[in-house]
Amino acid sequence: MLNQIRSRFVKNKTTTSASVSPEAGFTLLEIIIVLGIVGTLMAVLIGGLGSGQVSAKKKETAVKVNNIQASLLKYQADIGRFPSATEGLDALLTNPGVGAKWSGPYIGAEDDIKDGWQQKFSYELTPKGAKLISNGPDSQQGTEDDINYVNGREEAAAAEKAADQAPAN
């Protein structure tokens, strides 16, 4: 009698099978549509990241310029002058032959005198002070994406300067 009651409430595992409906699952067309949507979203997201990277590298470059400027001021306080154009920014890392006055290194590592694109800054002395030049995203010197800094401040682009100096009509 117990077996009869048990058989009514417990299904026999050997006799039941999972039935799969022929309509279950996705069609090929549905999968292609979903993949197209996902691909479009990825393209939009990746495209947006590219412009964000340039902006982040420009900010990194500006921070490095400020660090270099502070190091140049320490160098000037010790030596009595900025490094010459021939000594360059390497004078912040190794003694350029100025004797015991040099108490550097004034900056942490060689990577600290490179811009956000890992290109070494160009260094010049101008009547206004130390000028640092980043070759910008294209890493080519003398192109319109170059970023110039004088005394730690970004200079206006050449086109903007020309527009400011042009007589008004």
pLDDT at residue number 158: 45
Closest CA to 158 of 137, 136, 142, 135: 142
Chain-wide mean pLDDT for the chain? 80
Task: Say what the pTM is.
Answer: 0.63
What whole-number distance in Å separates Cα of residue 116 and Cα of residue 145?
13
90 pLDDT band (50/70/90 cuts)? very high
Closest CA to 82 of 100, 69, 63, 93: 69
Residues with Cβ within 8 Å of residue 157, at least 6 apart in sequence: 144
pLDDT in tens, 32-84: 888 888 888 887 777 666 667 778 888 888 899 999 999 999 999 999 999 99
pLDDT at residue number 41: 81
**∠ CA 120-126-131 to the nearest 5 degrees?**
30
Query: What does the pLDDT average to over 102-115?
Result: 89
pLDDT at residue number 145: 85
pLDDT at 163 over 50: no
| Residue 125 host element (H or E) | strand 122-126
pLDDT at 152 over 80: yes
How far is CA 160 from its chain centroid? 25
pLDDT at 162 over 70: no
When comparing pLDDT for 58 and 2, which is higher? 58
Instruction: Classify domain 53-159 at the CATH superfamily level.
Output: Glycoprotein, Type 4 Pilin (3.30.700.10)
Query: What does the pLDDT average to over 120-148?
Result: 89
Under a CB-based contact definition with an 8 Å cutoff, are residues 150 and 130 in contact? yes
pLDDT in tens, 14-38: 554 556 566 677 888 888 888 888 8
pLDDT at residue number 10: 58
pLDDT at residue number 57: 87
pLDDT at 125 over 60: yes
